[in-house]
Chains A and B, each alone.
With several copies, the nearest count.
Chain A
Amino acid sequence: MTIKEQQDAIIEDFSFFTDWTEKYEYIIQLGKDLPLIEEQYKRDENLIKGCQSRVWLHAEYKDGKIYFTADSDAVITKGLVSMVVRVLSGQSPKDIAEADLYFVDAIGLKSHLSPTRSNGLLAMLKQMKMYGMALKSREL
C-alpha cells in the first residue's frame, strides 16, 4: 500500500467511532499491543526526547526501502507512533521524504503535532523524514 492508502485506511477505521472514548480506547489498544522496537534499540542515541513523553526510533534500510521500529513511554503517543510506523515503514526514501501526514489531523489528534507540545511525535516525524532525505540523496 502507498502512504496515501495507508492513511486513508486509518481514517476509514476511525470513521466508525462515535465518541472520543472509543477512539482513544482503540489508540490505547494499539499502544499496548506490541513491542514496537527491539529492546537493544531502545538506547540513548535512538531517543527523541520530548518535554512530556519520550520516543525511541530505529530505522533500517533494505532493498530501497526504509523500515522503522519505534516506541514511547506514554501509551497514547505509542498508539500514534504505531500508526505512523504503519504508514511510513517499508516505503521508499523519496516517498517518506515527501510524505504529507494528514491522517493525524483527520482523526482529531492534531494537537500531538503541535510544535510547542513537544511530546516527541513531531520530532519523530522530522527524524523519519530526515532519514528519507538522506537516503534519497544517497540513491541519486
Chain B
Amino acid sequence: MTKRAVIPDPVLDIEQIRKDFPLLQTPVYGKPLVYLDNAATTQKPQVVLESLYNYYTRYNSNVHRGVHFLSQQATEAYEQARKKVAGFINARHEHEIIFTKGTTNSINLVASSFGKKFLQPGDEVLISAMEHHSNIVPWQMICEERGAALKVIPINEQGELRMEAFDELLTGKVKIVAVTYISNSLGTVNPIAEIINKAHAAGIPVLIDGAQAIQHVPIDVRELDADFFAFSGHKIYGPTGVGILYGKEEWLNEMPPYEGGGDMIKNVTFAKTTYNELPFKFEAGTPDIAGGIVLGTALDYVQQIGITAIRRAEEELIQYAYNRLSAISSLRFIGDAGHRSGAISFLVGDIHPFDMGEILDKQSIAVRTGHHCTQPVMDFFNIPGTVRASFAFYNTRSEVDLLVEGIEKAKRMLM
C-alpha cells in the first residue's frame, strides 16, 4: 500500500510496550479494550503521568521573571521542553517553537496574524478539499475579514490531492498555502515536499497541518522547508491542552502578535506598548506550564522508542488491517490512497456508520464514526460519515482480528 521503501529498524516488542500504557489495561464492559481511536487522541505512557505528578508535587510555580527557586526550576524545565520540541522536529531555533493550546489554536494564530498583515482584498488562500475543519474555518474567517478568497485543491476518488489542479490554482494571487500532511479521515499522505517546493518557487509560504503526522512519521521542518508546522500534544502521547506552532523566524517576526497580555510584552504604557521577542511575543498569559513540560516527556518517550521504528511497526500493522478488512464482503474503503498512514475509513453495505460504531463499542472496540470534522470530504463522497479505525504503534494484529470479528458480528445484526 505504501510506496516508501521500508528501512530496516529494530523490531518493537509491542506486548512489552503496551505495559507502559495504564489505560490499555483497563477493561471496558468487562472485556479488554481495543482502542482504535488514536487519531482522535492517543493514550499516555506511565512516564508522562509521572512527569505530570512530579511537576505538581515538586516544582509547580509560575514561570518567567520569578526570582525564587521553584520559579527558576519551572522556567528551566519549561524552556527545556521547548528545546526538546525544537530538536524533535529539527527547527533551526528554539524561539521558532510557540507553545499553543493545540493544532486548532496554532492554525488560528497563523490565519489571524498572518492574515492581518499579508491578506488584502483579492488575495487568495489555498487549502485542500481534505482539510480538517480546523484548517478550513480559520481561513474562512480571516478571508471574510480581509476580503480575500478561499480556494480549494480538489481530491480524486481515491482521496488523493489532484496535483495538476494544484499547479493551476497556484497563481500569483495566492498568499499562503495550508494543507494537511496526513488526512485524518482518509489516511492519505500528501506530497507536501512537492507542494512546498512548488509554492516556494512561486514565493508563497506553506503551513503544514501536522496533527496526524507528528506521531507517525519523522518530521524535519528544515528539510521540508515548511514555513509553519502545527500539531497537538494529545495526539502524540502527551497531555490535552497543549500544542505547538513551529514558524520560521522570518515570518513570525513579521507577523503582529495574536493575543495580548502578560509575558508577551516588553513595555506597557497606556500610550504605547512594545512587544516582546520570539517566542514570547506569541505566548500571552500564564502558559500551560505542566502541559509544555510533559509534552517534552512524551517526545522523549517517542524518541526513545524511535519514530522510524514506530513508523515501520504501524505501516506493517496497517497493511495487515487493510488486507484483512479487504476480505470482508460489502466493505468499501473511503479513501484508498497509494500512500496512507494512521487511519482507515470504511463503510459496510448500507449500514449507517453510527450503528456500526455502536455495535463495535458494545464489543469493547473503540472506533470513531461520523464526519471526523471533515464534512467536505463526506460531501465529496456523498456519504453521511465513515467508520474510522486509527492505529498507534501499541496496537496489535490480534486487535485487528477482533475488529474484523466485530464487524462481521455487526453485519449479522444490522444487515
Contacts and interface: CB of A to CB of B under 8 A. Distances in A.
| Chains A and B directly touch (beta carbon < 8 Å) | yes
B384 interface: yes
Contact of A118 (B63, B65, B72): B65
B355 A114 contact: no
Contacts of A115: 79
Given A53-B352, A117-B65, A73 B384 contact: yes
B354 A116 contact: no
Contacts of B370: 51-52
Interface string A49-62: 10111100000000
Contact of A76 (B65, B72, B355): B355
Most chain B CB atoms below 10 A, which of A53, A54, A111: A111
A7 interface: no
Contacts of A114: 72, 75-76
B414 interface: yes
Contacts of B222: none
Contacts of A20: 29, 362
A77 interface: yes
Contact of A51 (B63, B65, B358, B413): B65
Contacts of B384: 53-54, 73
Interface residues of B, number: 26
A54 B355 CA distance: 12
Contacts of A111: 72
Contacts of A77: 354-355
Given A24-B413, A28-B413, A52 B63 contact: no
Nearest to A77: B354
A21 B413 contact: yes
B180 interface: no
A75 B72 contact: no
A51 B358 CA distance: 15
B28 interface: no
Contacts of A24: 358-359, 362, 413
Contacts of B296: none
A75 B414 contact: yes
A25 B64 CA distance: 26
B297 interface: no
B69 to A, nearest CB: 8
Contacts of B63: 116
B128 interface: no
B64 A76 contact: no
Interface string A92-130: 000000000000000000010011111100000000000
Contacts of B353: 52
Contacts of B267: 49
Nearest to B94: A115
B215 interface: no
A76 B354 contact: yes
Contact of A52 (B29, B354, B413, B414): B354
A77 B370 CA distance: 14
A52 B76 CA distance: 18
Interface in B334-392: 352-355, 358-359, 362, 369-371, 384-385
A75 B411 CA distance: 13
B358 A76 contact: yes
21 contacts: A21-B362, A51-B370, A52-B65, A52-B353, A52-B385, A53-B352, A53-B354, A54-B384, A74-B352, A74-B355, A75-B352, A75-B414, A76-B354, A76-B355, A76-B358, A77-B355, A114-B72, A114-B75, A116-B63, A116-B64, A117-B67
Given A28-B355, A52-B369, A74-B352, 15 more contacts: A24-B358, A28-B414, A49-B266, A51-B371, A75-B352, A75-B355, A76-B355, A111-B72, A114-B75, A115-B79, A116-B63, A116-B65, A116-B79, A117-B64, A117-B65
Interface of B: 29, 63-67, 72, 75-76, 79, 266-267, 352-355, 358-359, 362, 369-371, 384-385, 413-414
